[in-house]
Structure 1
Amino acid sequence: MSSPATARRGLRRPKTDEGPRARFSELLPYLLEHKRVLGFVVVLSVLGAAASLAQPLLVSQVIAVVESGRGVGSIVWVLVGLVVVSGLISGYQHYLLQRTGEGVVLSSRRRLVRRMLSLPISEFDTRRTGDLVSRVGSDTTLLRAVLTQGLVEAIGGSLTFVGALIAMLVIDPVLLGLTVLVVAASIVTVTLLSGRIRVASQQAQQKVGDLAASVERAISAVRTVRASNATEREVAAVERDAEGAWEMGIRVARISALVVPIAGIAMQVSFLVVLGVGGFRVASGAITIASLVAFILFLFMMIMPLGLAFGAINAVNQALGALGRIQEIVALPTESETDDPTRAAPAVETDDAVRFDDVEFAYPSAARRTEGEKLVVAELGAEAAPADDQVLRGVSFSVPRGARVALVGPSGAGKSTILALIERFYDPTAGVVRLGGVDVRALDRQELRAQIGYVEQDAPVLAGTLRQNLTLVRSDATDAECIEVLRAVNLGEVLDRDPAGLDAQVGEEGVMLSGGERQRLAIARALIAAPPILLLDESTSSLDGLNEQLLREAIDAVAEHRTLIVIAHRLSTVVDSDSIVVLDHGRVVGVGTHSELVASTPLYRDLAKHQLLV
Structure 2
Amino acid sequence: MSSPAPSRGRRGRRAPSDGPRASLKQLLPFLLEHKRVLIVVAVLSVLEALATLGQPLVVGQVIERVQGGEVLGLLVWVLVGLVVASSLIGAWQHYLLQRTGTAVVYSSRRRLIARLLHLPIREFDARRTGDLVSRVGTDTTLLYAVLTQGFADSIGSVLIFVGAMVAMLLIDPLLLLLILVVIAASATVVGLLSGRIRSATQAQQQKVGELSSGVERAIGSIRTIRAAGAGAREQQTIEETARGAYDAGVQVAKASALVVPVAGIALQVSLLVVLGVGGFRVASGAISIAQLVTFVMFLFFLVQPLASFFGAITSVNQALGALGRIQEVLDLPTETAEDAAIAAGAAAAAPAESAAAPAIEFRDVRFRYPEAVVAARRSAESEALRALADAHVDAAAVELGDEDRDDDVLRGVSFTVPAGARVAIVGPSGAGKSTTLALIERFYDPTGGAILLHGRDIRTLDRDELRSQLGYVEQDAPTLAGTIAENLRLASPDASDAQCERVLRDVNLGEVLERSPLGLEAPVGESGVMLSGGERQRLAIARALLAAPPILLLDESTSSLDGLNEQRMREAFDAVATGRTLVVIAHRLSTVVDSDHIVVIDHGEVVGQGTHSELVASTPLYRDLAKHQLLV
Question: Which is further off, 210-219 or 237-246?
Answer: 210-219
Cα distance in 1 for residues equivalent to 2:103 and 2:490: 28
Cα deviation code 1:81-117 (max 9, x no counterpart)? 1111111111111111111111111111111111122
Displacement, 1:487? 2.1
Inter-CA distance 527–386: structure 2 relative to 1 (3 Å threshold): closer
Q: 2:469 aligns with which of 424, 448, 451?
A: 451
1:409 aligned partner: 427
Q: 1:359 aligns with which of 345, 355, 365?
A: 365
Cα distance in 1 for residues equivalent to 2:265 and 2:373: 55
Give the letter for the 2:359 counterpart.
A
Inter-CA distance 370–462: structure 2 relative to 1 (3 Å threshold): same
Alignment of 1:139-158 (within 5 A): 139-158=139-158
Inter-CA distance 293–368: structure 2 relative to 1 (3 Å threshold): closer
Q: 1:536 aligns with which of 554, 565, 568?
A: 554
User: Is 1:594 the counterpart of 2:595 in the alignment?
Assistant: no
Q: 2:351 aligns with which of 343, 347, 350?
A: 347
Question: Which is further off, 485-494 or 521-530?
Answer: 485-494
Q: 2:592 aligns with which of 551, 574, 582?
A: 574
Cα distance in 2 for residues equivalent to 1:369 and 1:270: 58
Find the residue that maps to 2:408 and give its secondary structure: coil
1:554 aligned partner: 572
Q: 1:374 aligns with which of 372, 375, 380?
A: 380
Inter-CA distance 227–427: structure 2 relative to 1 (3 Å threshold): same
Cα distance in 2 for residues equivalent to 1:161 and 1:425: 56
RMSD between aligned residues:
2.1
CA contact (8 A) 1:121 1:426 kept: yes
Find the residue that maps to 1:149 and give its secondary structure: helix
Give the letter for the 1:342 counterpart.
A
Find the residue that maps to 1:360 and give its secondary structure: strand
Cα distance in 1 for residues equivalent to 2:281 and 2:565: 98
Cα distance in 1 for residues equivalent to 2:195 and 2:373: 37
Displacement, 1:2? 2.6
CA contact (8 A) 1:422 1:433 kept: yes
1:89 aligned partner: 89
Displacement, 1:510? 1.1
2:234 aligned partner: 234
Cα deviation code 1:412-445 (max 9, x no counterpart)? 1111011011101111111111101101111111
Cα distance in 2 for residues equivalent to 1:34 and 1:379: 52
Alignment of 1:28-107 (within 5 A): 28-107=28-107
Give the letter for the 2:351 counterpart.
A
CA contact (8 A) 1:365 1:388 kept: no
2:12 aligned partner: 11
Cα deviation code 1:230-250 (max 9, x no counterpart)? 111111100111111111110
Find the residue that maps to 1:540 and give its secondary structure: coil
Displacement, 1:282? 2.2
CA contact (8 A) 1:365 1:386 kept: no
Matched length:
609
Cα distance in 1 for residues equivalent to 2:449 and 2:82: 78
Find the residue that maps to 1:431 and give its secondary structure: strand
Displacement, 1:367? 4.1
Cα deviation code 1:332-372 (max 9, x no counterpart)? 11112222113313225443111111111122355457977
CA contact (8 A) 2:491 2:547 kept: yes
1:475 aligned partner: 493
Cα distance in 1 for residues equivalent to 2:101 and 2:246: 26
1:260 aligned partner: 260
Cα distance in 2 for residues equivalent to 1:166 and 1:372: 65
What TM-score results when the alignment is normalised by the length of structure 1? Answer: 0.95
CA contact (8 A) 2:4 2:404 kept: no
Cα distance in 2 for residues equivalent to 1:41 and 1:371: 51
Cα distance in 2 for residues equivalent to 1:146 and 1:373: 38
Cα distance in 2 for residues equivalent to 1:149 and 1:194: 15
Alignment of 1:316-327 (within 5 A): 316-327=316-327
Cα distance in 2 for residues equivalent to 1:22 and 1:201: 12
Cα distance in 2 for residues equivalent to 1:333 and 1:242: 31
Question: Which is further off, 192-201 or 237-246?
Answer: 192-201
Overall identity of the aligned pairs, in %:
67
CA contact (8 A) 2:7 2:383 kept: no
Cα distance in 2 for residues equivalent to 1:7 and 1:483: 39
CA contact (8 A) 2:2 2:404 kept: no
Cα distance in 2 for residues equivalent to 1:151 and 1:327: 19
Displacement, 1:379? 11
User: Is 1:251 the counterpart of 2:257 in the alignment?
Assistant: no
Displacement, 1:390? 1.7
CA contact (8 A) 1:140 1:326 kept: yes
Cα distance in 1 for residues equivalent to 2:80 and 2:408: 80
Alignment of 1:155-304 (within 5 A): 155-304=155-304
Q: Which runs of 5+ in 1 are unaligned?
A: none
Cα distance in 2 for residues equivalent to 1:55 and 1:403: 87
Cα deviation code 1:59-81 (max 9, x no counterpart)? 11122222222332221112111
1:461 aligned partner: 479
Inter-CA distance 484–5: structure 2 relative to 1 (3 Å threshold): farther
Cα deviation code 1:372-406 (max 9, x no counterpart)? 763537999xxxx9985321122111111111111
CA contact (8 A) 2:12 2:377 kept: no
Find the residue that maps to 2:492 and give its secondary structure: coil
Cα distance in 1 for residues equivalent to 2:193 and 2:514: 65
Give the letter for the 1:149 counterpart.
Q
Inter-CA distance 399–7: structure 2 relative to 1 (3 Å threshold): farther
Find the residue that maps to 1:543 and give its secondary structure: coil
2:131 aligned partner: 131
Displacement, 1:15? 7.0
